Chain A
Amino acid sequence: MPTWTPDPTFYPSPRMASRAPAEHLAYVAMFDPAREKPDAIAVVDVDPDSSDYSKIVGQVDMPNTGDELHHFGWNACSSCLCPNAPHPHAERRYLIVPGLRSSRIHILDTRPDPRNPKIVKVIEPEEVADRTGYTRPHTIHCGPEGIYVNALGNPDGDAPGGIFLMDHETFDVRGRWEVERGPQQLAYDFWWHLGYDTMVTSEWGTPKTFEDGLIPEVLLGSQYGRRLHFWDLHKRCHLQEIDLGEEQQLVFELRPAHDPTKAYGFVGVVISLKDLSSSIWTWYRDGDKWAAKKVIEIPAEPADPDLLPPVLKDFKAVPPLVTDIDLSMDDRFLYVSCWGTGDMHQYDVSNPFKPELTGKVRIGGIVSRATHPGAGNGALSGGPQMVEVSRDGQRVYFTNSLYGAIDPQFYPDGIDGWMVKLDAKPQGGIAFDPDFFIEWPKGHRPHQVRLEGGDCSSDSYCYP
């Protein structure tokens, strides 16, 4: 429903958004890897003054089982204030929650009680496939033409994956976004530079090659994604592809600078076939083209094969497996989740080509199984994965599961879910909040975190 004045959570610029009040609630996607119980969106109290601090205070069960909730997002956000396509009186109110495995899309209304959202619409997978030709919806972004969703495959579980649009008021599925896709076939993440009318997309693989877990032959044959794609955001056509190299596999999360006048961003590559390292690349404008350069390389750590899962025994090392990154609203700090080793790194990326490591914590990890001051059960499984940063940059939340079918390949003893929070110092440095450790209810694992009112991967801005 439109309003008389703009939604108070919309900010013209990232600078203004970084002065937003602290969030009181977090929404967390949780799924049952056994696909027996319904997946759900959990509501977590993150207000330190509340008696329910660091507790799950609400839960919305999906109507089916086996959806595999993964990523999700808001129907509307700060990009509604853009001058070229303003929708300032839309409300940030609905969560768009796709099932990555089922391709079913749920619309949750967070009003009137944000602790108790209600499912108001369910879009069945057949409708998504009929209207778009796509399945396996993944990332959600609110943007200039409504809700953008990228999907990882076609109805047969093959390529191409791509982007489709949904109406941000009626939630109708409006159709395929691409007018001219060029050589792009694989999909994973997408985001944009509103200041440069440019969309960026990354690559994982086709659903057939990941829904039963990563396939070693595909990986070793460099058949998973290794490219970045750049698109004209308004003409919807492919402009350029950048191949990061044959040894680079799984090009995942994209974090463009929030400041729309800056033409650079960061992307994480999960694994190098050469030495199992992970890397962060900076893409940037070079003349009238885009270019990309490796700016961080995180090496694998040597390990006793007895402590390693079967897929890694021959390598005698733990790969860092950088599977999520997040950029603070002031574009200063980049957070890097190393799901394999159990590290969460904080880099100062004021100079996007020369990141400096400014903080590091360890929790879980394939070999280290590091604990947390708030954990009762000692050795923790899983590692830092989906990470979300508050708009003021002072709080960092993350969970420990990657994907149902891949979790047991790296953590064969199973993953017990948890969610933790870091306190970040304004000039760099991170530490666990000892009072924030959520032992996730058995049977479900947590994945993406979204913060009330917006966070560092939900909104985009048209003004510097």
Chain B
Amino acid sequence: MAALWPWLTLAGLGAFHGVNPAMGWLFAVAFGLHRGNHRVVLLSLLPIAIGHAIAVAIVAGAIISLGVLIDQQTVRHVAGAVLIGWAAYHAVYGHRHRVRFGMQAGMMGLGIWSFLMATAHGAGLMLVPVLIPLCLAATPAREITAAGSLPVSLAAIGVHTLAMLAVTGSIAIAVYQWLGLDFLRRGWINFDWLWTAALVAAGGWLILG
């Protein structure tokens, strides 16, 4: 059972990222409404998921590279500090990002937007507490090699992204087909606060845990 926890956590964080309207489903719905076509909603989910996966993969890659160079405890502390710093940045400057893509963004633009949004929000960083034990403990002797870590890292990114895609896709379709956008007015809770809290919690866990 203990071996399952990291994977469940990755999936849970995927669901958390997927629920956040700012991570993609709302953009997919808007695209569908503009083109008047539910297939556009489904199609838009793909670049959103790919952009998100790349953002997470870059963080995973950085963790593995760091793990090759320095010991795991130091990696934890460095990553924890980065997470808390990111949370502070997000809280203070999160509202003033340069907007590069709008309603005329193509599928490529949507993918880049998703990548930028996930990166800026520290979506990948939030996974670090799970990625470190998974990716840096791939062999019993803790001999960290990029080759040993690769399959498990890819699996981690895959599980996270699929969970994110499943949740974000379900919400996008439900909102487009049945719910409508009116519920946004009450139902859109402050994810920025939750997000900042999650980043701080993950950072704290890394440093103190």
Please give the residue numbers on chain A whose beta carbons come within 8 Å of chain B beta carbons, in ascending order.
2-6, 8, 10-13, 16, 81-90, 144-146, 167-169, 174, 194-197, 233-234, 260-261, 462-464
Contacts and interface: CB of A to CB of B under 8 A. Distances in A.
B188 A5 contact: yes
B186 A5 contact: yes
A86 B100 contact: no
Query: Is the contact region of chain B dominated by helix, strand, or loop, or is it mixed?
Result: helix
Interface stretch (B11-19, B25-33, B124-132, B155-163): B25-33
By Cβ-Cβ distance, the 3 closest A-B pairs, closest first, are: A197-B102, A83-B27, A83-B26
A234 B34 contact: no
A16 B182 contact: yes
A196 B26 contact: no
B102 A194 contact: yes
Nearest to B31: A83
Given A83-B21, A463-B33, A194 B184 contact: no
B101 A84 contact: yes
B102 A233 contact: yes
B83 to A, nearest CB: 21
Interface of B: 21-22, 26-27, 29-30, 33-34, 95-105, 113, 181-182, 184-190, 192-193
Given A84-B105, A167-B96, A260 B185 contact: no
Contacts of B26: 83, 86
20 contacts: A2-B192, A2-B193, A4-B193, A5-B186, A5-B187, A6-B185, A85-B99, A86-B21, A87-B95, A88-B21, A88-B188, A88-B190, A89-B190, A89-B192, A195-B34, A197-B105, A234-B102, A462-B30, A462-B103, A463-B181
Contacts of A197: 102-105
A90 B95 CA distance: 9
A260 B102 CA distance: 12
B184 A6 contact: yes
A12 B182 CA distance: 7
A463 B99 contact: no
Nearest to A235: B100
Contacts of B95: 87, 90, 146, 167-169
A83 B21 CA distance: 7
Given A83-B21, A144-B99, A196 B181 contact: no
A335 to B, nearest CB: 27
Nearest to B101: A84
Nearest to A6: B188
B189 A81 contact: no
A236 B34 CA distance: 23
Contacts of A11: 185
Given A81-B188, A85-B99, A146-B96, 4 more contacts: A4-B190, A12-B185, A84-B103, A146-B95
A76 to B, nearest CB: 10
Given A6-B185, A84-B103, A144-B99, A464 B33 contact: yes
Given A5-B190, A84-B102, A196-B104, A13 B34 contact: no
B188 A234 contact: no
A127 to B, nearest CB: 18
